[in-house]
Homo-oligomer: A and B are copies of this chain.
Amino acid sequence: MAQPTVPTGPDRGDRAALAGDAVRRIMHIASAMRHYQDVEVAELGLTPAAARALHELDPDRPLPARDLAEQLRCDRSNVTALVDKLEQAGLVERRVDPTDRRQKTLVVTEAGRRMRDRVHQVMSDSRLLGGLTTDELATLSQLVWKVSDGGCPEQCGGE
């Protein structure tokens, strides 16, 4: 309660309460972060979903649309409109896979690569973590690494 780093913390000792509180605050922080990201990404001329799609694509490893849908955890049918936007903006190209002509491979263009870098910067905007000391930041980073590595029961691709 009166610890130096935490002005008004949750009740220690009850793991469930502690975890629940952490979850709600993580969601709160993430919501604020998303808010910022959406605004900044709009300034780049992208909708949030299109930006996330571009961000998921690896410029050095073209991907079939099917896999992008999987990475975005959404239905294939949605990827069509998303890639339409990115293609119209000259950021991505669709190429028919010669091996399997059903598949269309998504290739990030040069402009797409530059835009993706900018999107990556936005997605990494850490202004909300500015109140942490570098040590605290390192600790937080370690903990979220551990959570995203091991804590996902089902589908958790990991970057």
Binding site for B on A (CB under 8 A): 3, 5-10, 12, 15-16, 18-35, 73, 123-132, 134, 136-153, 156, 159
Contacts and interface: CB of A to CB of B under 8 A. Distances in A.
A138 B12 contact: yes
Contacts of A10: 141, 145
Contacts of A8: 145, 149
A33 B28 contact: no
B137 A28 contact: no
Contact of A134 (B15, B136, B147, B152): B15
The A interface, classified by DSSP as helix, strand, loop or mixed, is helix
Contact of A145 (B9, B31, B126): B9
Given A20-B126, A126-B20, A29 B136 contact: no
A58 to B, nearest CB: 15
A148 B21 CA distance: 12
Most buried by B among A34, A138, A149: A138
Contact of A141 (B18, B30, B31, B131): B18
B146 A131 contact: yes
Contact of A3 (B5, B125, B127, B142): B142
Nearest to A25: B144
